[in-house]
Amino acid sequence: MSCPVFTRYATDEMLKIFSEESKIERWLKVEAALAQAQAELGIIPKEAADEISKKANLEYVKLKRVKEIEEEIDHDLLAVVNALAEVCEHGHGRFVHRGATSYDIEDTAWALAFKEALMLLKNSFIDLTRILLKKAMDYNDLICIGRTHGQHALPTTYGMKFALWSYDTYRNLKRLDFLFENDILGKMSGAVGTMAAFGDKGIELQSKVMEKLGLNNALITNQVVQRDVFSDMIYFIALSAANLEKIAKEIRNLQRTEISEVLEPFSAKQAGSSTMPHKRNPHRSERICSLARYLRSLVSVSLENIPLEHERDLTNSANERIILSHSFILLHYMIKEMIDIIKNLEINEKNVKRNLNLLNGIYLAERVMLALVDRGMKRSDAYEIVKNTAIRCYENGLDFFEELYNNEEVKSRLEKNELKNLLDPTGYIGESKKIVESVVKEIESYLNISKQ
Q: Which structural domain, as residue segments, surrounds residue 83?
A: 16-95
Q: What is the per-residue pLDDT for 428?
A: 87
Is the distance from CB of 393 to CB of 368 less than 8 angstroms? no
Same domain, residue pair 231 and 115: yes
Q: What is the per-residue pLDDT for 52?
A: 98
pLDDT in tens, 166-196: 999 999 999 999 999 999 999 999 999 999 9
Q: Which of 207, 273, 412, 438 is catalytic?
A: 273
Distance separating alpha carbons of residues 32 and 49, to the nearest angstrom: 7
- Are β-strands 185-186 and 216-217 bridged in parallel, bridged antiparallel, or unpaired? parallel
Same domain, residue pair 168 and 234: yes
Q: Is residue 267 part of a domain?
A: yes
Q: CA end-to-end span of the chain, whole Å?
A: 44
What type of residue is 2?
Answer: S
Is the distance from CB of 173 to CB of 125 less than 8 angstroms? yes
Same domain, residue pair 83 and 34: yes
Same domain, residue pair 183 and 235: yes
Q: Is residue 121 part of a domain?
A: yes
Is the distance from CB of 374 to CB of 418 less than 8 angstroms? no
DSSP 427: G
Q: Which of 2, 90, 149, 267 is catalytic?
A: 149
Does the pLDDT of residue 273 top 90, yes or no? no
Does the pLDDT of residue 59 top 80, yes or no? yes
432: left (phi over 0), alpha (psi -120 to 50) or beta: alpha
Q: What is the per-residue pLDDT for 360?
A: 83
User: Looking at per-residue confidence, does 52 or 359 come out higher?
Assistant: 52
pLDDT in tens, 310-322: 999 999 999 999 9
The verdict on whether 19 is a catalytic residue reads no
Same domain, residue pair 326 and 378: no
Q: Is residue 116 part of a domain?
A: yes
Is the distance from CB of 390 to CB of 365 less than 8 angstroms? yes
Q: What is the per-residue pLDDT for 432?
A: 97
Helices (H), 255-376: 283-304, 317-343, 349-356, 365-374
Q: What is the per-residue pLDDT for 277?
A: 52
CA-atom Rg of the chain in angstroms: 30
Let me know the angle formed at the C-alpha of 116 by 111 and 118, rounded to the nearest 5 degrees.
90
The verdict on whether 149 is a catalytic residue reads yes
Into how many domains does the chain fold? 3
CB neighbour list of residue 351: distance below 8 Å, 6 or more residues apart:
259, 260, 261
Distance separating alpha carbons of residues 90 and 99, to the nearest angstrom: 20
CATH number at residue 400: 1.10.40.30
What totals of helices (H) and strands (E) does the chain contain, helices first? 19, 6
Q: What is the per-residue pLDDT for 449?
A: 80
CATH number at residue 331: 1.20.200.10
Same domain, residue pair 422 and 309: no
DSSP 341: H
Q: Is 331 exposed, middle or buried (0-12, 13-18, 19+ CB in 10 A)?
A: buried
156 phi/psi in degrees, rounded to 5? -140, -165
Mean pLDDT of 130-154: 96
Q: What is the per-residue pLDDT for 334?
A: 98
Q: What is the per-residue pLDDT for 181?
A: 95
Q: Is residue 304 part of a domain?
A: yes
Residue 354: CB atoms within 10 Å: 14
Does the pLDDT of residue 246 top 70, yes or no? yes
Does the pLDDT of residue 372 top 90, yes or no? yes
Mean pLDDT of the chain: 94
CB neighbour list of residue 45: distance below 8 Å, 6 or more residues apart:
39, 92, 95
Same domain, residue pair 109 and 82: no
Mean pLDDT of 377-406: 91
Same domain, residue pair 237 and 332: yes
Q: Is residue 452 part of a domain?
A: no
Does the pLDDT of residue 80 top 70, yes or no? yes
Distance separating alpha carbons of residues 388 and 73, to the nearest angstrom: 80
CATH number at residue 79: 1.10.275.10
Is the distance from CB of 190 to CB of 91 less than 8 angstroms? no
Q: Is residue 161 part of a domain?
A: yes
Does the pLDDT of residue 272 top 70, yes or no? no
User: Looking at per-residue confidence, does 427 or 189 come out higher?
Assistant: 189
Same domain, residue pair 174 and 283: yes
Same domain, residue pair 320 and 408: no
pLDDT in tens, 18-41: 999 999 999 999 999 999 999 999
7 phi/psi in degrees, rounded to 5? -100, -20
Distance separating alpha carbons of residues 96 and 118, to the nearest angstrom: 30
Same domain, residue pair 290 and 361: no
**How far from 265 is each of 73, 130, 146, 341, 411, CA to CA, in Å?**
52, 19, 23, 6, 49
Q: What is the per-residue pLDDT for 2?
A: 80
Distance separating alpha carbons of residues 131 and 181, to the nearest angstrom: 26
Q: What is the per-residue pLDDT for 189?
A: 97
Q: What is the per-residue pLDDT for 267?
A: 60
Beta strands in 41-187 (DSSP E): 143-148, 151-157, 185-186
Give the end of a domain, one of 305, 331, 351.
Answer: 351
Q: What is the per-residue pLDDT for 359?
A: 86
Same domain, residue pair 112 and 247: yes
Distance separating alpha carbons of residues 433 and 139, to the nearest angstrom: 10
